[in-house]
Chains A and B, each alone.
Chain A
């Protein structure tokens, strides 16, 4: 095998924060015109390594080599001037600016006299959007775009800077399957133009599919590297978490008692009231049952769950909990009655970042600890610590700041908060978004356990593997309608995906995995 053409090389890179080692003498080679995927659980050090490569952070020791020359980036602009661009996991766009202004922010095309050449910029936007097969107009406000479209803009921005090294940190977390396909075509196109790509994703199948080379980080150490064709998914998972297995299996523990019933629910699209997000939807969830609401982005999952929780209000239809209509109740009273939501966007809707782990857990049930107007802290702390154990949150103390926890542990805190209210039905919107394999499995185990105690569980996901293994029943949602109801034991993944796809049977990457 000939020596691959390495464009960017990290040599014995070490990063310490205080006494903590985030990267332990890591070596990393990026081959020109290839996709290198970096695998690792949350906190393994992926983001730290990417920040060092993109010039955002500086290594404590070790060095970088660009085209065989030693280099040390002083900041991200410096790295950008060498053609290194990063697409961040969290969108970093200004919602009040247009697509064009966002794409050229800080690197505007100037005409004579220093004025911005909008015509040239607009042309460039159109050209890039054409390449990405999207018809997002240059003068659209980013704030008006869907999350998936915003992610496209983020990618387009990196393309606009003519990057030759592109770091993609979770580029697909908000994209639909069709959009992911397009992104992969673009990646192929970029590769043929000699662009080197570092790819990070929690969708392991997708990440492996797109990779030419793989690296695996575990606990700050680089533990493996290989050509992608030599490895398979289970092998990677083993390397990442040091053990076998993904996900939890749903148990057959359904009872006949209907806990949550939705009758003929119709909901307007909050961003476009003329459109229906959910149209005449009916569903029954039994005690002990785990129901998966499977569908693509925009199918109406979030709107449905937020209406059950009480944030949105339906046009018509009923939501019954143990036979009683709860549609008229406030969010607080619905929680008291026994239905609570684990929202999709943990940072925006799930956590109060300024509060401690404990106070986040008890937030929904603080009233239970009141005696004569005063909160009794001892029973509160006892309950909090019990929940921390129940949902297995890894934290040094209930007094730690919530922001000090990893994504998976933060999600367990949100679930703990909901469980502390003693719910009869729990609804979860993408409960594993942006968390690592190990935590995913733990969360579904947790839900299965809770179902065993008679809880009705309804979760929405766009990950087919979760739908297939963690649910007793799959309800497929497509454009606000139920397009199919399936027993995951009796159907195959492609069937479920086909039912969810409004254009029917779009191939999805790694369908067989």
Chain B
């Protein structure tokens, strides 16, 4: 390869510096610190059953965060996911408890659980599709669009439930719609179903991001939308898909929560979007788009979840919990900025040497 000339002298120890470890793996380090501190403060913290409980909590946020990551990679934001969580639970409750009345008749259909799951996911997809269309076709900024749908979807959930909660969503054997609680309370190999869903979705999304054309398009679009467009990337289609997937992730989260509680409350999921954004950001993604990965986002979700539950176990007041969680988010992003500027310096040096 005679034309590919390396003019950069490489320091053999570059890449193993402490500062790099600190910044590159900051979510990992934060998680390690959290685990050590809380294990020291509370002997029950690292108890297997507690770890599983905490992981279940993490799974819910992680699922939202994975969808949010896709959106943030395109330099967008999805504020409507918390509301979609509520809508999905309420829809499941409605279909399970009251059934679907066939128009013009007195017949009421009670769909089986898997149909309910599919329909709820579909509803989440529709919310995402609406976001995507508003953003790409009507050119409403993602923040505004999803802020609007945040209210619309929450209101819809309240309307469907008439402000009430659907309780005791176990289904009736004579209607053939039992088993809804498996999603939240079922276990496989000792892990709750929700955790398995998180693992599955994370793996699928990791493949999507790293091994498919869609993933490449996503990073290109987030890095430079104009250049991606001129290179033939169908940016509108990609964006619509991203919001749709985020909606599906949110609906899935709503189903799992409703199943865990065997109740669908229209208020469920309020401010969940913020936790999801925090996980993505702690995980190293840039809100300006084009940078971020699943690994980081999962770690970010674990940081938030293990920190929050740890504070509860240790008995820190909920007011202090909020202060501490906020501080952790800021610290993570501040570290990110430090990392970016040190990278820029390296780049400058490289540019000067590359000629």
Q: Is the C-beta of A367 less than 8 angstroms from some C-beta in chain B?
A: yes
Question: Provided the pairs A355-B220, A385-B1, A388-B3 are in contact, do residues A331 and B229 lie with their beta carbons within 8 angstroms?
Answer: yes
Having A20-B8, A43-B351, one finds 10 other A-B pairs with CB under 8 Å, namely: A17-B348, A18-B349, A20-B9, A354-B291, A363-B227, A373-B212, A375-B213, A388-B4, A394-B354, A421-B232
Nearest CB of A to B227, in Å: 5
Other-chain residue from B228, B230, B352 in contact with A309 (beta carbon distance below 8 A): B230
Interchain CA distance A363-B221 in the complex, whole Å: 10
**A/B interface sample: 26 pairs, CB < 8 A:** A17-B352, A18-B349, A20-B353, A22-B352, A340-B232, A343-B230, A349-B226, A351-B227, A352-B223, A353-B224, A354-B223, A354-B224, A359-B216, A359-B220, A363-B227, A374-B212, A375-B211, A375-B212, A385-B4, A392-B3, A396-B7, A401-B347, A403-B347, A404-B350, A405-B351, A409-B354
Closest to B290 in A: A354
Q: Assess the B216–A363 pair: CB atoms within 8 A.
A: yes
Nearest CB of A to B332, in Å: 20
The interface residues of chain A, by DSSP majority, are classed as mixed
Contact with A along B203-234 (1 / 0, CB 8 A): 00001000111001101101110111111111
Q: Is the C-beta of B6 less than 8 angstroms from some C-beta in chain A?
A: yes
Q: Is the C-beta of A92 less than 8 angstroms from some C-beta in chain B?
A: no
Interchain CA distance A508-B5 in the complex, whole Å: 40
Count A/B pairs, Cβ under 8 Å. Answer: 143
Question: Provided the pairs A19-B353, A309-B230, A335-B232 are in contact, do residues A355 and B223 lie with their beta carbons within 8 angstroms?
Answer: yes
User: Contact size class for A?
Assistant: 35 or more
Q: Assess the B234–A332 pair: CB atoms within 8 A.
A: yes
Question: Provided the pairs A18-B349, A354-B223 are in contact, do residues A43 and B354 lie with their beta carbons within 8 angstroms?
Answer: yes
Nearest CB of B to A39, in Å: 16
Q: Assess the B227–A348 pair: CB atoms within 8 A.
A: yes
Interchain CA distance A385-B3 in the complex, whole Å: 10
Nearest CB of A to B175, in Å: 39
Residues of chain A lying within 8 A (CB to CB) of residue B3: 388-389, 392-394
Interchain CA distance A90-B220 in the complex, whole Å: 23
Q: Assess the B227–A311 pair: CB atoms within 8 A.
A: no
Q: Assess the B5–A332 pair: CB atoms within 8 A.
A: no
Residues of chain A lying within 8 A (CB to CB) of residue B234: 330, 332
Q: Assess the A395–B355 pair: CB atoms within 8 A.
A: no
B1, B212, B230 — which one has the most chain A CB atoms within 10 A of its CB? B230
Which residues of chain B have a CB within 8 Å of any CB of chain A? 1, 3-9, 11, 207, 211-213, 216-217, 219-220, 222-224, 226-234, 290-291, 346-355
Question: Provided the pairs A20-B353, A311-B230, A396-B5 are in contact, do residues A354 and B347 lie with their beta carbons within 8 angstroms?
Answer: no
Residues of chain A lying within 8 A (CB to CB) of residue B217: 366
Which residues of chain A have a CB within 8 Å of any CB of chain B? 17-20, 22, 42-44, 48, 219, 309, 311, 330-336, 340-341, 343, 348-355, 359, 362-364, 366-367, 370, 373-375, 385, 388-389, 392-397, 401, 403-406, 409, 417, 421
Nearest CB of A to B153, in Å: 31
Q: Assess the B227–A350 pair: CB atoms within 8 A.
A: yes
Residues of chain B lying within 8 A (CB to CB) of residue A385: 1, 4
Question: Provided the pairs A364-B231, A394-B5 are in contact, do residues A352 and B353 lie with their beta carbons within 8 angstroms?
Answer: no
Interchain CA distance A340-B233 in the complex, whole Å: 13
Q: Assess the A352–B228 pair: CB atoms within 8 A.
A: yes
Residues of chain A lying within 8 A (CB to CB) of residue B7: 396
Q: Assess the B232–A336 pair: CB atoms within 8 A.
A: yes
Other-chain residue from A219, A362, A373, A417 in contact with B355 (beta carbon distance below 8 A): A219
Other-chain residue from A352, A397, A403, A404 in contact with B220 (beta carbon distance below 8 A): A352
Question: Provided the pairs A397-B4, A406-B354 are in contact, do residues A367 and B223 lie with their beta carbons within 8 angstroms?
Answer: no
Interchain CA distance A405-B353 in the complex, whole Å: 10
Closest to B213 in A: A366
